[in-house]
Chains A and B, each alone.
Chain A
Amino acid sequence: MATLDSKIPKGPLKDKWTTYKDTINLVNPANKRNIDIIVVGTGLAGGSASATLAELGYNVKAFAYQDSPRRAHSIAAQGGINAAKNYQGDGDSFYRLFYDTVKGGDYRSREANVYRLAEVSANIIDQCVAQGVPFARDYGGLLDNRSFGGVLVSRTFYAKGQTGQQLLLGAYSAMNRQIARGKIEMFNRHEMLDVVKVDGKARGIIARNLITGELERHSAHAVVIATGGYGNVYFLSTNAMGSNATAAWKIHKKGAFFANPCYTQIHPTCIPRSGDYQSKLTLMSESLRNDGRIWVPKKMEDVMAIREGRKKPTDLSEDERDYYLERRYPAFGNLVPRDVASRAAKERCDAGYGVNATGEAVYLDFKSAIERYGREQAKLHHISNPSEKEVYDLGKGIVEAKYGNLFQMYEKIVDENPYETPMMIYPATHYTMGGVWVDYNLMTTVDGLYCIGEANFSDHGANRLGASALMQGLADGYFVLPYTIGDYLANDIRTGKIPTDTKEFDEVEKEVKDRLDFFINNKGKHSVDYYHKKLGKIMWDKVGMARNAKGLTEAMAEIKALREDFWKNVKVTGALNEMNPELEKAGRVADFLELGELFAKDALMREESCGGHFREESTELDGLQKGEAKRNDKDFAFVAAWEYKGEPADAVLHKEELEFKDIELKQRSYK
Chain B
Amino acid sequence: MNLTLKIWRQKDSKSKGQMVDYKVTDISEHMSFLEMMDVLNEQLINTGEEPVAFDHDCREGICGMCSMYINGEAHGPDRGVTTCQLHMRMFNDGDTIYIEPFRAKAFPVIKDLVVDRTSFERIQQAGAFISVNTSGNTQDANAIPISKHDADEAMDAAACIGCGACVASCKNSSAMLFVGAKVSQYALLPQGKIEATDRVLNMVAQMDAEGFGNCTNTGACEIECPKGISLENIARMNREYLKASF
Contact = CB atoms under 8 A, between A and B. Distances in A.
B181 to A, nearest CB: 11
Contacts of A71: 57-58, 63-65, 162
Interface string B75-86: 000101100010
B39 interface: yes
B124 interface: yes
A282 interface: yes
Contacts of B245: none
B63 A75 contact: yes
B134 A48 contact: yes
Interface in B26-70: 28, 30-32, 34-35, 38-39, 42, 44-46, 48-51, 53, 55-65
B119 to A, nearest CB: 11
Contact of B120 (A68, A130, A160): A68
A134 B125 contact: no
Contact of B48 (A85, A135, A169, A573): A573
B116 interface: yes
B130 interface: yes
Contacts of B34: 279
A452 B131 CA distance: 25
B220 interface: no
B203 to A, nearest CB: 11
A290 interface: no
Given A240-B59, A282-B60, A68 B121 contact: yes
B129 A174 contact: yes
Interface in A34-88: 48, 51-52, 55-56, 66-68, 70-71, 73, 75-76, 85, 87
Interface stretch (B92-100, B141-149, B233-241): B141-149
Contacts of B48: 573
Interface stretch (B152-160, B170-178, B208-216): B152-160
B131 A177 contact: yes
Contacts of A169: 158
A278 B35 contact: yes
A527 B42 contact: yes
A72 B13 CA distance: 25
Contacts of A380: none
Interface residues of B, number: 79
Contact of B189 (A132, A140, A241, A282): A132
A278 B38 CA distance: 10
A529 B41 CA distance: 10
Contacts of B12: 578-579
Contact of B39 (A67, A126, A277, A409): A277
Given A415-B89, A478-B134, A68 B155 contact: no
B162 A275 contact: no
A123 interface: yes
Contacts of B60: 76, 280, 282-283, 409
B117 interface: yes
B145 A241 contact: no
Contacts of B133: 55
B62 A140 contact: no
Given A134-B151, A174-B129, A529 B145 contact: no
Contacts of B9: none
A173 B140 contact: no
A188 B121 contact: yes
B20 to A, nearest CB: 15
A499 to B, nearest CB: 29
Nearest to A166: B158
Contacts of B58: 71, 73, 75-76, 240-241
A485 interface: no
A127 B191 contact: no
A125 interface: yes
A128 to B, nearest CB: 8
Interface string A307-320: 00000000000000
Interface residues of A, number: 79
Contacts of B124: 172-173, 176
A557 interface: no
A177 B129 CA distance: 6
A277 B138 contact: no
A136 B135 contact: no
A123 B148 contact: no
Contacts of B31: 275, 277
A143 B155 CA distance: 13
B169 interface: no
Nearest to A70: B162
A123 B136 CA distance: 6
B186 A132 contact: yes
A417 interface: no
A275 B186 contact: no
Contacts of A412: 78, 81, 85, 87
A76 B145 contact: no
Contacts of B81: 412
Contacts of A120: 136
B126 interface: yes
B154 A176 contact: no
Contact of A130 (B11, B38, B191): B191
Given A137-B147, A412-B87, A529-B42, A240 B57 contact: yes
B134 A143 contact: no
Given A138-B148, A578-B11, A176 B128 contact: yes
Contact of A134 (B63, B118, B158): B158
A413 interface: yes
B135 A55 contact: yes
A66 B63 contact: yes
A131 B121 contact: no
Contacts of B144: 129-130
B148 A139 contact: yes
A496 interface: no
Contacts of B103: none
Nearest to B188: A134
A67 B134 contact: no
Interface string A229-242: 00000000000111
Interface in A265-309: 274-275, 277-280, 282-283
A571 interface: yes
B50 to A, nearest CB: 5
A142 interface: yes
B229 to A, nearest CB: 13
B210 to A, nearest CB: 14
Contact of B129 (A48, A135, A176, A409): A176
Given A130-B132, A135-B151, 13 more contacts: A67-B117, A71-B57, A75-B63, A126-B136, A131-B134, A142-B142, A174-B129, A240-B58, A279-B35, A279-B38, A279-B59, A408-B80, A412-B81
Interface of A: 48, 51-52, 55-56, 66-68, 70-71, 73, 75-76, 85, 87, 120, 123, 125-132, 134-143, 159-160, 162, 165-166, 169, 172-174, 176-177, 179-180, 186, 188, 211, 240-242, 274-275, 277-280, 282-283, 408-409, 412-413, 415, 478-479, 482, 527, 529, 571, 573-574, 578-579, 581-582
List the 6 shortest-distance A-B pairs measured between CB atoms, nearest first. Answer: A141-B145, A173-B129, A129-B141, A137-B151, A134-B155, A130-B138
11 contacts: A73-B58, A120-B136, A127-B134, A130-B144, A162-B155, A180-B125, A277-B31, A282-B59, A527-B45, A573-B44, A579-B12
